[in-house]
C-alpha cells in the first residue's frame, strides 16, 4: 500500500523568479506547489525602490497562468543609497515583506550591494523599529578569504557586529551552508532565523568536484564538506522553528551554467517537495516536514500558515523533467542523484 502525507501548503522563503521569458517559464514550477515565496530582488537592474518592487510584483502576477494561485512576497535590494522612508512606506502599505542584504560582489548581480555598513545604519535602525526582517546573504567578499570560509568569517566580522549595533533587528540568515551558521542561530534566542535550501541538504563539495566538475551543483554559498551538510540536515529536521525552507531555486540557462565561467545557482523548484520528503524520511523525521516547509517560516514573518493542504504519495519513481524550456534556453532541473518516490498529488 502506498504511503501518503498531508501537509499545509508550503511556502518558499527564498526564491529567484527572474524576469521576462524566464519568469514566465519558472513561475508555474513554484506556484504548482508553493502558496507564497519571498522574491529575491537581484534583477538587472536590481529592485531597489518601492516603485521597482510594485512594478516587479505586477509583472509576476501578469506572468501567473490562469487558475494558479500564488502570492509573491516582495523584497527590496539594500544599497548604500536606500531611502529609509521609502522602505518604511513600502512596509506600511504591505508591499514588501523584507529587505535583502548582499555584500557587494558576493554573488549573481550583487555589484550594487553594501560595502560600508555605516551607510545603511539609518535603514537598519528604521527596520528594527518597524520589525521589518533583513534577509542576509552571509558571505564576506574579501579576495584573501577562502571561499569555503566566507560564511563563518561573515558571522564574526559582519553579522554579529551589525546585530549588536542594531538591537531588535530581525534577521534571516539566508541559505546557511555550515555548522557555524547552525550554531550561530541556535545560540541566539531572539530575532534570528535561517533558511536552508533543498540542495544543501543533498550535496557536499565532493558532489561538485569529484569525477569531473558538475556545473549544475555550483551555487553560492558553495556547498561545503560533509560534516556541514549533516549539521544542516540535523537543523532542518530538528523541529527547531528558527530553521525553515528557502529553496534559493535560481535558474540559469544551461549554456550559462556549462561554461568556462559558469553561473551559480541550482534550479530546484520542480522537485523540491519530492526531495525534501525523501530527505526527511531518511532522517526519520517525516512528522517534522510540515514545520520546515509550512509553519516555521510564516511564524517568523508574522503571517498565518496556509489553510490549503497538499498531499504527497510514496509510490513508483516520480517522473520529473531533466530540463525545462524557457524562451531564453533550456534550464536543467536539480538532480539529487537518486530516484524520488514522493509525488505531490
Q: Which is nearer to ligand DOR, 265 or 270 (CB)?
A: 265
In the block, residue with C-alpha cell 543609497: 81
Residue number of the CB closest to Zn ion reads 248
The owner of cell 498529488 is 345
Does residue 137 belong to the site contacting ligand DOR (CB under 6 A)?
A: yes
Helix axes 121-130, 84-92, angle to 10 degrees: 20
> What's the Cα-to-Cα distance from 345 to each of 6, 57, 195, 331, rounded to whole Å?
10, 28, 25, 24
Q: Which is nearer to Zn ion, 110 or 293 (CB)?
A: 110
Residue 332 contact, options ligand DOR, Zn ion, none, Cβ 5-8 Å cut-off depending on partner type: none
Q: How far, in Å, CA of 42 to CA of 131, rounded?
A: 23
C-alpha cell at 148: 569555503
Stretch that binds Zn ion, among 21-29, 50-58, 243-251, 303-311 (CB under 5 A): 243-251
248 binds Zn ion (CB under 5 A): yes
**Which residues ranging from 190 to 249 are in contact with ligand DOR (CB under 6 A)?**
219-220, 248
Answer for which of 120, 250, 269, 276 binds ligand DOR (CB under 6 A) is 250
* 118 given a catalytic annotation: no
| Minimal distance, residue 34 CB to ligand DOR, in Å | 18
Out of 125, 191, 248, 287, the active site residue is 248
Q: Which is nearer to ligand DOR, 7 or 250 (CB)?
A: 250
Which residues partner with 3 through β-bridges? 314
Distances (CA, A) of 87 to 16, 48, 169, 234: 21, 9, 14, 36
Please report, in angstroms and rounded to a whole number, the separation of the first and last CA atoms in the chain: 16
Helix axes 50-63, 84-92, angle to 10 degrees: 40
- Do 12 and 37 contact (CB within 8 A), yes or no? yes
* Under rule CB under 6 A, residue 135 binds ligand DOR: no
- The pattern of x and - marking residues 3 through 22 that bind ligand DOR according to CB under 6 A reads -------------x------
98 lies in the binding site for ligand DOR (CB under 6 A): no
Smallest distance from Zn ion to CB 316, Å? 33
Residues 256-275 binding ligand DOR (CB under 6 A) are: 264-265
- DSSP, collapsed to helix, strand or coil, labels residue 4 as strand
Q: What is the set of active-site residues?
A: 248
Interface residues with Zn ion (CB under 5 A) are: 248
Amino acid at each position: 500500500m502506498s504511503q501518503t502525507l498531508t501537509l499545509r501548503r508550503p511556502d518558499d522563503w527564498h526564491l529567484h523568479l527572474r524576469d521576462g521569458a524566464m519568469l514566465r517559464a519558472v513561475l508555474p514550477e513554484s506556484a504548482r506547489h508553493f502558496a507564497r515565496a519571498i522574491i529575491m530582488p537581484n534583477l538587472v537592474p536590481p529592485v531597489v525602490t518601492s516603485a521597482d518592487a510594485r512594478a516587479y510584483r505586477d509583472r509576476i502576477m501578469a506572468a501567473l497562468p490562469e487558475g494558479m494561485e500564488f502570492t509573491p512576497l516582495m523584497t527590496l535590494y539594500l544599497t548604500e543609497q536606500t531611502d529609509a522612508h521609502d522602505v518604511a512606506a513600502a512596509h506600511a502599505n504591505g508591499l514588501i515583506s523584507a529587505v535583502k542584504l548582499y555584500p557587494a560582489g558576493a554573488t549573481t548581480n550583487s555589484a550594487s550591494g553594501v560595502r560600508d555598513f555605516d551607510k545603511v545604519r539609518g535603514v537598519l535602525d528604521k527596520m528594527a523599529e518597524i520589525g521589518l526582517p533583513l534577509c542576509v546573504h552571509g558571505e564576506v567578499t574579501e579576495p584573501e578569504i577562502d571561499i569555503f570560509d566566507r560564511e563563518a568569517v561573515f558571522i564574526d566580522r559582519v553579522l554579529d557586529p551589525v546585530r549588536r549595533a542594531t538591537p531588535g533587528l530581525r534577521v534571516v540568515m539566508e541559505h546557511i551552508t555550515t555548522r557555524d551558521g547552525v550554531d550561530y542561530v541556535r545560540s541566539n534566542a531572539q530575532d534570528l532565523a535561517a533558511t536552508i535550501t533543498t540542495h544543501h541538504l543533498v550535496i557536499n563539495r565532493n558532489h561538485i568536484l569529484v569525477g569531473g566538475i558538475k556545473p549544475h551543483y555550483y551555487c553560492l554559498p558553495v556547498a561545503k564538506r560533509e560534516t556541514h551538510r549533516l549539521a544542516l540536515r540535523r537543523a532542518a529536521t530538528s523541529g527547531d522553528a528558527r530553521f525553515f525552507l528557502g529553496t534559493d531555486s535560481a535558474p540559469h540557462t544551461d549554456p550559462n551554467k556549462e561554461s568556462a565561467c559558469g553561473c551559480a545557482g541550482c534550479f530546484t523548484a520542480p522537485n523540491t517537495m519530492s526531495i525534501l520528503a525523501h530527505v526527511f524520511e531518511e532522517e526519520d523525521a517525516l512528522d517534522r516536514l510540515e514545520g520546515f516547509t509550512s509553519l516555521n517560516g510564516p511564524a517568523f514573518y508574522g503571517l498565518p500558515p496556509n489553510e490549503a493542504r497538499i498531499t504527497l504519495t510514496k509510490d513508483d519513481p516520480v517522473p520529473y523533467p531533466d530540463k525545462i524550456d524557457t524562451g531564453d534556453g533550456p534550464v536543467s532541473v536539480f538532480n539529487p542523484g537518486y530516484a524520488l518516490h514522493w509525488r505531490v498529488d
